[in-house]
């Protein structure tokens, strides 16, 4: 895209039309926040503007940037900044009648087509950005927006310096944990501040493959950990409760073991007034037998049988190797020769694999430890949670594999988690202007 300032007649007129059609407030905010403007700024009335501080981006309602500091003429102002494509948008959005906008000290617009006033009828200085930024920035941004590639910058991503990538991924992994603790907080409140119950519910949420997340969550809500712990010394009874409430014992069996579980569950159901889920909620199709919900439930039963106060044990363990040992539970002997009730299979121990254990640490232990530190205002636990990421192998999934195909490699779970955050919260929605990599590439010509 040629400079808008070129004296090229019809091309200049067309380019102005193109810019007006593609201009977005988010791009103007990007220019303002990064000070990507030509020097010697002036208001539309000719007063010189010195940017002392552009302010802090506001993610809530109200003006776009808060607590900016500017020198306009000979006066230093501290207040808020509002950004629009056209100054007339001020009135379209009703800011002239909104008290939240009465402390705006500068209206930053692409084109100033109208003077603007506050609710107190005070005239607001305006800065018109048309002609005072490098149009190539907009060209590169629009190229990203119109890209049909899965990742808009994929042809350029590997050209960004490794230090920039590493620092951005470090920030993204914190962002990912911050996003995850919203779910943890909900569970924590539902469990009335009980850390072990919260851990149990979060663990079950992540215990099955994606297809069975919902039934595992339902099971955790219907079968409290405290009921299981009352029979923690009896593996058979723990299995009976898990399989019984899950609805997977509601059948006429041939094998003696499920019949035994049924008898135990009848007694325990009466004792604890336990409900029963519809068995059809569970998914078995198109998954590896090792991930069948029956196997996962049997592994969970052994895990609870072997470890009471599991969160406390994991929290206070010295090494990640010890934490992994808690999850390496072997199922009861019936499952050595079965993946489902009444269906014999080749004899094989049904222990949880290393990659499955790593995922439980990534999705259960680390977020809860991080939340624990936040809740208690103890940075040690947050730092411990983050350091655990660096001790785990990177995840292998379609997102990390795709990044590897464009030259962005991962060395640990910290980086794979960061790339998942990057893809799901930036690349998919093309938030290139909020991405450090995107910003670097947009500014590189």
Cα 126 to Cα 31: distance, rounded to the nearest angstrom: 15
The owner of tokens 């072990």 is 196
Q: Which residues contact 70 (CB under 8 A, 6 or more apart)?
A: 49, 50, 51, 52, 53, 76, 77, 105, 106
> Is pLDDT at 9 greater than 60 in this prediction?
no
* Contact criterion met (CB below 8 Å) for 2 and 64: no
Quote the pTM value.
0.86
Q: What share of the chain is helix, strand, coil (3-state, %, to 5)?
A: 55, 10, 35
pLDDT higher than 80, residue 13: no
Backbone torsions φ then ψ of 263, nearest 5 degrees: -65, -45
Query: Residues 247-292: pLDDT tens digits?
Result: 999 999 999 999 999 999 999 999 999 999 999 999 999 899 999 9
**What Å distances lie between residue 260 and 111, 239, 240, 304, 342, CA to CA?**
78, 11, 8, 20, 13
Pairing state between β 56-57 and 49-53: unpaired
What is the C-alpha to C-alpha distance for residues 183 and 187, in angstroms, rounded to an integer?
6
> What are residue 65's DSSP bridge partners?
57, 81
Q: Cβ neighbours of residue 368 under 8 Å, at least 6 residues apart? A: 184, 198, 199, 202, 311
Q: CA-CA distances (angstroms) from residue 330 to 95, 219, 295, 327, 386?
A: 64, 21, 10, 9, 29
What's residue 11's pLDDT? 45
Contact 129, 109 (CB under 8 A): yes
Question: What does the pLDDT look like over 284-335, one tens digit per residue?
Answer: 998 999 999 999 999 999 999 998 889 999 999 989 999 999 998 889 999 9
Q: Which residues contact 48 (CB under 8 A, 6 or more apart)?
A: 40, 41, 42, 71, 72, 73
Task: Let me know: does 74 contact 142? Beta carbons within 8 Å.
Answer: no
**pLDDT of 208:** 81
* pLDDT tens track for 346-379: 999 999 889 999 999 999 999 999 999 999 999 9
Q: Are 130 and 18 in contact (CB under 8 A)?
A: no
Buried (b) or exposed (e) across 130-160, using 16+ Cβ within 10 A? eebbbbebbbbbbbbeeeeeebbbbebbeeb
Instruction: Encode pLDDT of 55-101 as tens digits.
Output: 999 989 999 999 999 999 999 999 999 999 999 999 999 999 999 99
**Cβ(238)–Cβ(284) under 8 Å?**
no
Ranges 92-96, 171-175, 209-213: which has the least confidence: 209-213
For residue range 147-167, what is the model confidence (pLDDT) as tens digits?
A: 999 999 999 999 999 999 999
């Amino acid at each position: 895209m040629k400079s808008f300032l070129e004296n090229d007649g019809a091309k200049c007129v067309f380019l102005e039309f193109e810019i007006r059609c593609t201009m977005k407030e988010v791009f103007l905010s990007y220019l303002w926040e990064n000070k990507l403007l030509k020097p010697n700024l002036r208001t539309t009335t000719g007063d010189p503007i010195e940017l002392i501080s552009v302010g802090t981006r506001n993610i809530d309602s109200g003006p776009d940037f808060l607590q900016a500091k500017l020198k306009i003429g000979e006066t230093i102002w501290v207040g808020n900044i509002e950004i629009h494509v056209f100054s007339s948008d001020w009135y379209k959005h009703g800011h002239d009648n909104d008290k939240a906008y009465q402390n705006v000290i500068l209206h930053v617009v692409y084109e100033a087509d109208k003077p603007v006033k506050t609710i107190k009828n005070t005239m607001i200085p305006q800065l018109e950005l048309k002609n005072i930024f490098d149009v190539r920035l907009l060209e590169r941004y629009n190229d990203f927006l119109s890209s049909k590639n899965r990742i808009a910058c994929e042809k350029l991503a590997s050209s960004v310096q490794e230090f920039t990538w590493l620092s951005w991924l470090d920030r993204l992994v914190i962002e990912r944990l911050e996003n995850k603790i919203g779910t943890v907080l909900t569970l924590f409140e539902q469990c009335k501040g009980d850390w072990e119950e919260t851990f149990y519910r979060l663990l079950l949420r992540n215990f099955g493959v994606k297809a069975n997340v919902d039934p595992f969550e339902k099971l955790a809500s219907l079968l409290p950990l405290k009921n299981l712990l009352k029979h923690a010394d009896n593996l058979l009874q723990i299995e009976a409760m898990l399989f019984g409430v899950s609805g997977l014992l509601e059948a006429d069996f041939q094998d003696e073991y499920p019949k035994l579980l049924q008898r135990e569950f009848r007694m325990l159901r009466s004792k604890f007034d336990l409900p029963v889920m519809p068995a059809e909620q569970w998914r078995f199709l198109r998954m590896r037998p090792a991930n069948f919900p029956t196997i996962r439930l049997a592994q969970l039963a052994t895990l609870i049988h072997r470890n009471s106060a599991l969160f406390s044990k994991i929290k206070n363990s010295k090494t990640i190797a010890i934490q992994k040992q808690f999850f390496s539970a072997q199922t009861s002997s019936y499952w050595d020769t079965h993946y489902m009730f009444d269906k014999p299979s080749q004899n094989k121990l049904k222990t949880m694999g290393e990659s499955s254990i790593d995922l439980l640490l990534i999705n259960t232990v680390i977020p809860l430890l991080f939340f624990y530190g936040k809740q208690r205002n103890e940075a040690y636990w947050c730092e411990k949670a983050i350091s655990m990421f660096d001790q785990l192998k990177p995840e292998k999934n379609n997102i990390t594999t795709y990044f590897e195909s464009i030259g962005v490699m991962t060395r640990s779970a910290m980086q794979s988690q960061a790339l998942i955050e990057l893809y799901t919260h930036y690349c998919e929605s093309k938030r290139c202007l909020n991405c450090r990599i995107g910003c670097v590439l947009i500014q590189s010509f």
